[in-house]
Structure 1
Amino acid sequence: MHTGLFHTFDLERDGKTLSHLGLPFSVDRSPYFQIKVPICVIRNGEGPSVLLMAGNHGDEYEGELSLARLIRRLDPTRMRGRVTILPLANTPAVLAARRCSPLDGGNLNRAFPGEAQGMPTQRLAHFLETELFPRHDVVFDIHSGGTSMAHLLCALIETNTDPSGHQAALSLMRRLGLPFGFVADNGPAAPTSMGAARRAGAIGLSGEFGGGGATTPESMAATEGAIDNLLLALGVTDAPVFQASQTPASPMRLLALSRQSQAIYAVRRGWFEPAKPLGALVAAGDVAGFLHDLERLDAPEEELRFAEDGVVLSHRLHTMCEAGDCLMQVAEVIA
C-alpha cells in the first residue's frame, strides 16, 4: 500500500479504456497520496502493438498535446492491434511545468531501468522497462527542447549492437517524415527510455519536435504528422488520424551524436550569444557563439568555436549560463 505501482487496466481488452497508474507517495497534505499517471489503451483485435508516450520531461508540450488529442480522436473500430498512450508520463513534472518531478526530483529519462521499491520516478521507470515496454513492438517517446533549449526538428534512435534490431529502428525512423534523424550512442546501460525499449526487446523511437516551453503550428504539425506516419507504417491505421491526407516523406538526413567534443559547455558564469542557427552546416574552427561577462564590462566577449564539423543540433535558449551548462551541440552528418 505504501510503495510499488498499482493499476487496473487490461491490455487485452478491446475498445478504449482510460485509466491511471497509481504510485503511492506520502506527502504532508495527504499521508496516503498516490501520484496518478493517466494511461489509455485502445485495442481492436490482433495486430501491431505500439506505446506512445510524452511528458517524459514535463516542459515539452508537443507530444503531450498531440497524444491527448489522439486519445479523443482514435476510434478503435478504425484501427487494428493496440495503441497504449501515456500522454503525461512524468505527471508531477507536467503539472508543475518542469523538466523533472517536483515531488522526488526525478528525471524520468535518466531513471531507467529504475527500482521497484525506489522513489516514484524510479518505480515508474522500472514498471515501464520490465512490464509495459516488453508487451509492445514499438515505443515512441516524444520530446522537445523544453524550456531552456532550442532543438533541430529530428527523429532519434539509439545504437543497437544487434544489426537486425538497428536496421529495423533505422527503417522505421525514416518513415516518420522528418527532415533529420540522428543516432545517439549512450551504451547498453543507457538510462533513457530508448535504452529501456531496446533492453525490453521493442523498437525504440524518439524525436525532438520543438523547444522553448511552447508550441507552434509547425511543431504541432510535425508531431502529429510523425504519429500518423508511424501508425500507418505499422499498419495500425489505414488513414491519417490528424491530417486530411498523408504527406509524402522527404529523404531524411542522418546525423550522429556520440562524442563529448560535439558539444560546447560553459566553464564559467556568463551570458551566451549563439552565432549559428539550428540546422546550419558548420566546420571545426567556425565561431559558434560568444560568452559575455556583464560583470566585467571592460572584458571583451569570448569567442566559442566548434571542435567538429557537422549540423547545429541544439543551442541553449536562456542567455545567462553557469559552468557546466551545455550551450550548443553539433551532430556529425553520416548520410
Structure 2
Amino acid sequence: MPSARSHVNLDEPKYDQSTFMGRAKHFLITTNPLNVLATSKQLDEAKDIVERYRKGEDLPHLTDEQIWDAKHLYDSAFHPDTKEKMFILGRMSAQVPCNMSITGCMMTFYKTPREVIFWQWFNQTFNALVNFTNRSGEHPVSPIHLGISYSLATTGAVGTALTINKLVKRFPPIIGRFVPFTAVAAANCINIPCMRSREIMHGIPIFDENGNRVGDSTHAARSAIGQVVFSRIMMATPGMMIPPIIMQSLDKKPFMIARPWLNAPIQVLLVGFFLVFATPLCCALFPQKSSMAVKHLELDLQEKISKLPHPVERVYFNKGL
C-alpha cells in the first residue's frame, strides 16, 4: 500500500475552510459527542500516530482515512499548544452532552429565585471550566483574570434572570420560559470580552495572505470577539427558544399532567437534539481565519502596512472559539 504522506496535510483541516459547508463538516467532527467515549488507550494511540506522521515517519499500514481519524480523535482531546490531554468535561466533544443537561435543567427549573441562582451559577461554573481547560498555551489566562471573569458572568447571568423573572410575572407563562436564554445571552456578552480583555487592550496578531505577521491590532481583536459572542448566542438560540414553545403545548397533555417528572428529561432531550446541529453550524458561521480590510485598522498600522515592500489590502487573524 502506498504511503499516505503525499495525501494528508495534518497542519490544515480536512475540509475547505473558505466555505460554510467545509467549516460545518470540520466542526461536526470536532464536536462529535462520541469522542468523549474514547478510552485513554485509544487517545494515546491516536497521539502516537499523529506525532510519528508529523515527524515524517512512513506509516504504510494506515490509509489516508485512518490517519485523518487519528488526527480528529487527537484534536478532540489534546490541547493544541501544550499537547497535554485535556480534562474530559472541558473538551469540545463534551460540549453537547454537558450543555444539553445544564440547559435543559435551567429551562425546567427557572421559577423560584433559588432555582435560578443555582442553575445560572452551575452553568457559569461549567463555562469557566471550559475556558480554563482551553486557555492559550502562549498567553495563558491567570487564575485572577479567570476568577474576575467568572464572577462578573455569574453575577450578570443571575442578576438578569432574577430581574426578568420579576418583570414577566404580569405576562403569559410562555414568556417566563425564555428568561434562561436572556440570562445566558447576557452572560456571554460579559464573559467572553472579560476572558479576552488582554486582546482588547494589546491587540491580536494580524497576518498578510502569505502568513507573514504585520503587527497586532485591537480593532481586529474587537472584531474577533464580536464574532465569537454572536456565534455563542446563536448557538444557544434554537435549543433555548424552540423547546419552550414545544413544552408549553406538551404540559397541557394528559400524559404530562399525570407524569410531571417527565418535564426535565424531555426538555434535556429536546435541547440536545438542537445542540447537536447548532453547535457545529454556529461555530462555522465565521471563518476561523477571519479577515479585515486594512482601512479599518488603527491608523498607525495602516501607515506601517502602506510602507511595506508589497502593501496588502486585507489582513487575516485567528478569531478564536
TM-score, normalised relative to structure 1: 0.24
**1 or 2, which has the higher helix percentage?**
2
Q: Which has the higher contact order (CA 8 A, sep 6+)?
A: 2
